[in-house]
Structure 1
Amino acid sequence: MNHSIFVVKVIEKPVHLIYKECQSMEIKVKFPAPRQKDSSNELTLLLWGDYKGDFIKYYKTQDYLIIEGTLTSKGYANEENEVKLIVKKLYPFLLI
Structure 2
Amino acid sequence: MNDLTPEYPFIHVYAQQKVHQPVIIKGNTEGLCVLLNALICALANRDSNGVAEVFCGDAEAFEVIVRLVNTHDELLPIPYQNYNEPK
TM norm structure 1: 0.25
**Of Structure 1 and Structure 2, which has the larger fraction of its residues in strand?**
1
Structure having greater relative contact order (Cα 8 Å, sep ≥ 6): 1
TM norm structure 2: 0.27
